[in-house]
Amino acid sequence: MICLSFDIEEFDMPLEYNGKIPFEEQISVSRKGTEIILDLLKKYEIKATFFSTVVFAENNQDIIQRLLKEGHELASHTYYHSQFKIEDLKKSKDRLEELFGKKIYGLRMPRMMNVDEKEVQKAGYFYDSSVNPTFLPGRYNNLHISRRSFMDSGVLQIPASVTPRFRFPLFWLSFHNLPLSMYLEMAKTTYLHDNFLNIYFHPWEFMDIKKKSYQLPFYAKRNVGKKMIERFEKFLAWINDNEYATNTLKEYAELQV
């Protein structure tokens, strides 16, 4: 099974690099990118999981209603993208359920932040997909963590996919910066080895985010906007051409327990 997921959040990434972007623009960039993603998924008849912050969801309730209507899963990306308190685990789950009348099963922490799984379990989550089991300089070193799903404190952990031997990450950043043929070959090798792929993206990747005022590093701006749309559509076509099964992370999680 291949599980695609998207972290839909206020686009505050420029603030990490001392760039400038007003809140309204943070929301509009992610909104437009999410619309593009939904259109592509609908075209290729692929279901996915959307991890939303409460801030994004409150400001885009029609978009959330659309993705639910089209059969996608809504999960929690906590309350805010760049602020976190442990109580936000339950508050975000409760608020999303209140807004949309759907039970929230999954969690992904912003920027794959480490969190106490006992607190995740107490907040009522069924699964957590907040681990990238690789080494990313300046972010995390998770080489000691299993590449495969496992239980921790009563919560199913679903790591992001990395290659079997060298644990090369198959997340959004490598999708942008590698030749697409190389990325697809690594994805195929990993899928055939594990019978599973868990790959995540963000809506702002599908937008032109090369503004000087954003001050983003070159590797974050490579192959974004129209180029990303073209690459991602080829990726979806590759999934369908190979007849690989796809589903939401909730559906995958239910098969593991």
Burial class (CB in 10 A: 0-12, 13-18, 19+), 155: buried
The answer to whether residue 257 scores a pLDDT higher than 90 is: no
The answer to whether residue 49 scores a pLDDT higher than 90 is: yes
How many angstroms separate the Cα of 77 from the Cα of each of 40, 89, 170, 206?
22, 9, 20, 19
Q: How far apart are CA 138 and CA 236, in angstroms?
A: 31
Q: In Å, how far from its chain's centre is CA 255?
A: 20
The answer to whether residue 198 scores a pLDDT higher than 90 is: yes
Tally of CB atoms within 10 A around 201: 22
* pLDDT number for residue 255: 95
Beta strand pairing status for 2-8 and 150-152? unpaired
* pLDDT number for residue 18: 94
* pLDDT number for residue 90: 98
Are 12 and 22 in contact, with CB atoms under 8 Å apart?
A: no
How many angstroms separate the Cα of 214 from the Cα of each of 12, 34, 229?
9, 20, 21
Stretch 141-155: mean pLDDT: 96
Mean predicted lDDT score pLDDT of the chain: 97
Model confidence at 80, pLDDT cuts 50, 70, 90, reads very high
Stretch 19-25: mean pLDDT: 96
Are 84 and 92 in contact, with CB atoms under 8 Å apart?
A: no
Q: How far apart are CA 76 and CA 102, in angstroms?
A: 12
Are 248 and 48 in contact, with CB atoms under 8 Å apart?
A: yes
Q: Give per-residue pLDDT as tens, 108-143.
A: 999 999 999 999 999 999 999 999 999 999 889 999
